[in-house]
Amino acid sequence: MFQINDNYQKLPGSYLFSTIAKKVAAFTAANPDKTIIRLGIGDVTQPLAPAILAAMHKAVDEMGCAETFHGYAPDLGYDFLRRAIAENDYRARGCDIEEDEIFVSDGAKSDSANIQEIFAAESRIAVCDPVYPVYVDSNAMAGRTGTYDKETERWSNVIYMPCTAENGFVPEFPEETPDLIYLCLPNNPTGTTFTKSKLQEWVDYANRVGAVILYDGAYEAYISEPDVAHSIYECSGAKTCAIELKSFSKNAGFTGVRLGYAVVPKELKCGDVSLRNMWARRHGTKFNGAPYIVQRAGEAVYSREGKAQLKEQVAYYMKNAAAIKEGLKKSGYTVFGGVNAPYIWLKTPSGTTSWEFFDRLLENANVVGTPGAGFGPSGEGYFRLTAFGSYENTLAALERIQKM
Ligand code: MLT
């Protein structure tokens, strides 16, 4: 008789954003006359930039012609894209990353869920709390997180590092020593980040204790302050302790196009085993490459026109972030984030849990947000709004919230 992977049975509920989507669908079915504004999942709303569209059209035409047709992509990514990434995201910033340390994928969600596979089953993971739920869920599926306690909403074998207003959303080094440390900076969901010198302390810590930092830089394009690192490899010693995961979803609107990459430096080793070679082996076996058309679109992100157009797109979303932040402040809310990231993290009115606030917002303002508790126990009492809506919808949502 076959057996299932029992770890799946331990997972509480459904994936956070699926739960929200179900709740919103039920509300919409019961209230078909209401117009819902969605500031929940961090999904972009602006169309693809013209430079990207042009590159995609050209690539589509190439696919229609025998001489320029492309079949399977190289499993680790086309050279043209890996070169553009190495040059623009790393060497231009003084980070010595080579093309063959870059692995093109279909997005940072899959990479951040899959990367745990190359580590031992008994590895101890440490996560910021609150945190993007994929890190913990994927480790739970792999059987690494122990048992889930419904009361405390904690896994027995996860090191939670609380990030709250009290510590400025910067965690302390954990008391127990982790093997893997997930850092998402700028942070999803709090919208806050660390200074470069604080990040350097984490790199030094990881090297000292022999841990690997799994660094999710999906929101890097939104950094506006000068003392914030754009890559963990700006910190000295990061190449011996960090894997960086990047996405084209938030900087270039690829949520529906799908493209990302992982950087696994050659210096990152366990004894004399290279993690770069392990990831190459895994990627080659389990992934058949992002589509040619999509990788050409990714290349256009780094063109002169692409860069200029995407700068405008980021500025558009950050104008929304500023409007939400200021508007909520005026209405008496305590708000965080929204300066180096497209997320606003607000404190729910006292005595209101984050799921109660979700219901109240949906029912009274017909606005969808994300309850902080969905990102971990320390997210209770907080709520996330995304700046990825249209400007008009953002202002309309704000007005509705202010009237509540
Ligand atoms: C979020 O809303 O946290 C993200 O959009 C989810 C994702 O990027 O997968």
Mutation to probe ligand 1, out of 188, 255, 259 (largest number of atoms < 8 A from CB):
188
> Which is it for strands 212-216 and 242-247: parallel, antiparallel or unpaired?
parallel
| Across 82-108, average pLDDT | 98
- Give distance in angstroms: CA of 282 to centre of ligand 1: 24
Residue 243 alpha carbon to ligand 1 centre in Å? 20
From ligand 1's centre to the CA of 267, what distance in Å? 30
Ligand 1 center–CA 62 separation, angstroms = 32
Q: Is 183 helix (H, G, I), strand (E, B) or coil?
A: strand
Ligand 1 centroid, distance to 226 Cα (angstroms): 25
Q: What is the pLDDT of residue 252?
A: 98
CA of 40 to the centre of ligand 1 (A): 9
CA of 42 to the centre of ligand 1 (A): 5
> What atom of ligand 1 comes closest to residue 189's alpha carbon?
3
Residue 301 has pLDDT above 90, yes or no: yes
- Residue 270 CA to residue 273 CA, distance in Å, equals 5
Nearest residue (by CA) to ligand 1, atom 3, is: 42
First to last CA, the chain: 56
In 3-state terms, what secondary structure has residue 310?
helix
Q: Ligand 1 pocket check: which of 39, 132, 135 to mutate, most ligand atoms within 8 Å of Cβ?
A: 132
Residues 49/252, Cβ–Cβ less than 8 Å: yes
Give the CA distances from residue 220 to residues 162, 223, 244, 248, 295, in Å, rounded to whole numbers and listed in that order.
22, 6, 11, 10, 20
Atom from ligand 1 closest to the CA of residue 43: 5
Q: What does the pLDDT read at residue 351?
A: 87
Interval 4-38: pLDDT, tens: 999 999 998 888 889 999 999 999 999 999 999 99
Q: Average the pLDDT over 150-158 and give the result.
A: 95
According to the model, what pLDDT value does residue 179 have? 98
| Confidence check: pLDDT of 304 > 90 | yes
64 Cα–ligand 1 center, Å: 34
Average of per-residue pLDDT across 189-207:
98
pTM: 0.97
Report residues whose beta carbon is within 6 angstroms of any ligand 1 atom.
41-43, 109, 132, 188
Ligand 1 closest atom vs CA 41: 2
Q: What's the rounded Cα separation, in Å, for the pair 107 and 95?
A: 22
* Mean pLDDT of the chain, nearest integer: 97
186 and 222 Cβ atoms separated by less than 8 Å:
yes
Q: Which residue lies with its CA nearest to atom 1 of ligand 1?
A: 42
- CB atoms under 10 Å from CB of 404, counted, come to 12
Residues 6+ apart with CB under 8 A from 130: 163, 189, 190, 372, 375, 376, 378, 379, 382
CA gap 370, 16 in Å, rounded:
9
**Which parts of 190-241 fold into alpha helices (H)?**
196-209
Mean pLDDT across the stretch 54-77? 97
Distances in whole angstroms, Cα of residue 78 to Cα of each of 81, 86, 236, 303: 6, 12, 29, 16
Nearest atom, ligand 1, residue 370 CA: 2
Beta strands in 8-106 (DSSP E): 37-38, 102-105
* Amino acid residing at 22: K
Q: Specify the pLDDT at position 13.
A: 81
* Residue 270 confidence (pLDDT): 98
Q: Kindly indicate the confidence band of residue 211, based on its pLDDT and cuts at 50, 70 and 90.
A: very high
Bridging pattern class, strands 273-274 and 269-270: antiparallel
Q: Which amino acid is at 277?
A: N
